[in-house]
Chains A and B, each alone.
Chain A
Amino acid sequence: MTALGGLGPRDQGDLLGSPGRRSRSRRSGQGALRSTAIAFLSTFVFFGFLAWIAVNSPGWPLVQQAFFNGELFANSLPDIAGAFWVNVQLFLIAEVLILVLALVIAVLRSSPGPVLFPIRLLATAYVDVFRALPGVLIIYILGFGIPGLNVNGVPTDPFFYAVVALTLIYSAYVSEVYRAGIDSVHPSQSAAARSLGLSQWQALRYVVLPQAIRRVIPPLLNDFIGLQKDTVLVSYIGVVEIFRQSQITEAAHFNYTPYLATALVFLVVTIPLARFTDWLVARDRRRAAANR
């Protein structure tokens, strides 16, 4: 019923990132085979039971009609997948901008000395405000508010404001991830760099940041999974992306199947990234254990 159910517990341990189960299943070939069979069976029974409840519910015929129209699914998928290209552009552009802006903010917040206090204050205020506000609100305010000012030369393209809003929202979160990474590098590393005559900035650039960034790659990817999904929020300011496209198709046929197609597209794109992130985490843990 699920792809994962067919995999042995050993593979499952890798895929689901649960090392405990993996090490236990290494005992013997026969034991592993038996575990696989049990995992397969329990998965089949569990999801089979859920499906049985759904299919036998009183509303099932209506839901089936509204969500599981095979023909409409096939017909709407190309349009929906095409509209997803807009989401892809959104998150690819935003991710690059976020990586840069968030790093700048994290570095500013970690900057020492009383002279830079106003800058730290500003950076802190930015992070606080943009983490406090619901993303949809920021998208609305930027997307409708700023073009509404009718100032000459200010862009009116909603795509532009979509990128700006997502960048501002996510940079606040990602800067905190960076900052945690910077804080995790032991101060003795910075001291060693400074003792050689490197400036504060050089110590950060060549010694602290390379180590910090390496450590925060998994949580960074985690935030990007969130970003990829949140690209649908910009449909509110008139960007015709995957969610708006599925609404359009839904309205044309009075049928919800396009949403199912949209969900499928997100699963196909996001799950591999989630698995990759978990794999990175597990790999780093193994490496850390090997060095200990």
Chain B
Amino acid sequence: MSGRGSVSGSPFGTGAVALRIDGLRKSFGSLEVLRGIDLQLAEHEVVCLIGASGSGKSTLLRCVNLLEPIDAGRIAVEGEEITASGVDVDRIRRRIGIVFQAFNLFPHMSVLDNVTLAPRRVLKLSRSEADAQALELLGRIGLVDKAREFPDRLSGGQQQRVAIVRAIAMHPDLLLLDEVTSALDPELVAEVLSLVRELAQGGMTMLIATHEMGFARDIASRVCFLDAGRILEEGPPEQIFRAPREERTQRFLQRVMEAGRL
């Protein structure tokens, strides 16, 4: 897997390219939400997308997961173009996990069944194999005793951690996190972020849309500032947060700081 698509002379480390986006455009009706996105992620890299609401962060993630059809450009995962025509989208999505702002757990299933559904139905694991793996993962996040509970019995933070585990259970090459703490009460944010940190330390390649600037500064190998459907500025977090080059980035960070989020 790592042999494919390795790039020499990449400015972002020497690892193989996990995700490559070229000239991505996406409109909803007459509204152009993404206006030419170019982005590369090396394996094991963690990239945070910051920017105001409506700047296109979520849409970008949904396009990478093929939940939204794109209008122009191309996206490649591990060297394979996933936006080519005739690609089996189910096979691609298996390799790309996404965690949503609103958790989107399946309310009619126990926590355990939420986690094992895709491994059993898609990867064709036996129930016992899938259960064993799910219980191991739930154990790691301290929720093994909630395995038989239904999602509505869990706190928001617990639900979001289960949603992350549900995505991880498919062993994705790439994990997309779409403002995973935005729907949480403040006191529940930390438990979710610490799980994401653990994943980063474990080498998971992640593309993260977030409003948590402190978290982005800690965790990101690179930060991209999105503005009106374009990546206006990108760089290492210390540069973006301390010395942003673009005026719009400065104004955005200024507003965030005034709101006490940095």
Judge whether B104 and A198 touch: CB under 8 Å. Answer: no
Check if B152 is an interface residue, CB within 8 A of chain A. Answer: yes
> CA–CA, A75 to B195, complex, Å?
76
> CA–CA, A196 to B96, complex, Å?
8
The listed residue (B96, B97, B100) touching A188 by CB distance below 8 A is: B100
Judge whether B67 and A195 touch: CB under 8 Å. Answer: yes
> CA–CA, A196 to B99, complex, Å?
10
Q: What's the least CB distance linking B208 to chain A, in Å?
A: 16
Q: Look across to chain A and name the residue whose beta carbon is closest to the beta carbon of B121.
A: A202
> CA–CA, A291 to B154, complex, Å?
11
> CA–CA, A102 to B231, complex, Å?
49
Check if B107 is an interface residue, CB within 8 A of chain A. Answer: yes
Judge whether A214 and B108 touch: CB under 8 Å. Answer: yes
Check if B242 is an interface residue, CB within 8 A of chain A. Answer: no
> CA–CA, A225 to B166, complex, Å?
42
> CA–CA, A210 to B107, complex, Å?
10
Q: Look across to chain B and name the residue whose beta carbon is closest to the beta carbon of A205.
A: B121
Judge whether B121 and A198 touch: CB under 8 Å. Answer: yes
Tell me the A157-193 residues at the B interface (CB within 8 Å).
188-189, 191-193
Check if B118 is an interface residue, CB within 8 A of chain A. Answer: yes
Tell me the B64-91 residues at the A interface (CB within 8 Å).
65, 67, 90-91
Check if B42 is an interface residue, CB within 8 A of chain A. Answer: no
Tell me the B228-258 residues at the A interface (CB within 8 Å).
none
Judge whether B90 and A199 touch: CB under 8 Å. Answer: yes
Judge whether B104 and A196 touch: CB under 8 Å. Answer: no
Q: How many residues of B contact A (CB 8 A)?
A: 24
Residues of B within 8 A of A206 (CB): 117, 121
Q: What's the least CB distance linking A285 to chain B, in Å?
A: 16
The listed residue (B90, B102, B152) touching A197 by CB distance below 8 A is: B90
Q: Look across to chain A and name the residue whose beta carbon is closest to the beta carbon of B113.
A: A206
Map CB proximity to A onto B189-224 as digits: 1 under 8 Å, 0 otherwise.
000000000000000000000000000000000000
Check if A43 is an interface residue, CB within 8 A of chain B. Answer: no
Residues of A within 8 A of B24 (CB): none
Residues of B within 8 A of A196 (CB): 93-94, 97, 117-118, 122, 166-167, 170
Judge whether B91 and A197 touch: CB under 8 Å. Answer: yes
Check if A211 is an interface residue, CB within 8 A of chain B. Answer: yes
- Known contacts A196-B93, A197-B91, A199-B90, A191 near B104 by CB under 8 Å: yes
Judge whether A192 and B121 touch: CB under 8 Å. Answer: no
Check if A194 is an interface residue, CB within 8 A of chain B. Answer: yes
- Known contacts A202-B121, A206-B117, A291-B152, A197 near B104 by CB under 8 Å: no
Check if B98 is an interface residue, CB within 8 A of chain A. Answer: yes
Check if B106 is an interface residue, CB within 8 A of chain A. Answer: yes
The listed residue (A189, A198, A211, A291) touching B118 by CB distance below 8 A is: A198
Judge whether B107 and A195 touch: CB under 8 Å. Answer: no
Q: Look across to chain A and name the residue whose beta carbon is closest to the beta carbon of B68.
A: A191
Q: What's the least CB distance linking B137 to chain A, in Å?
A: 14
Judge whether A197 and B100 touch: CB under 8 Å. Answer: no
> CA–CA, A169 to B122, complex, Å?
38
Q: Look across to chain A and name the residue whose beta carbon is closest to the beta carbon of B93.
A: A197
Judge whether A195 and B97 touch: CB under 8 Å. Answer: yes
Check if A207 is an interface residue, CB within 8 A of chain B. Answer: yes
Residues of A within 8 A of B94 (CB): 196-197
The listed residue (A192, A210, A211) touching B104 by CB distance below 8 A is: A192
- Known contacts A195-B65, A197-B91, A210 near B108 by CB under 8 Å: yes
Residues of A within 8 A of B97 (CB): 195-196
Judge whether B90 and A198 touch: CB under 8 Å. Answer: yes
5 of the cross-chain contacts (CB-CB < 8 Å) are: A191-B67, A195-B167, A196-B97, A196-B166, A198-B117
A193-B117, A194-B67, A196-B122 known; 12 new pairs, CB 8 Å cut-off, are: A188-B100, A195-B67, A195-B167, A196-B93, A196-B94, A196-B118, A196-B170, A197-B91, A197-B170, A198-B90, A207-B117, A291-B152
**A contact set with B: CB distance below 8 Å:** 188-189, 191-199, 202, 206-207, 210-211, 214, 291
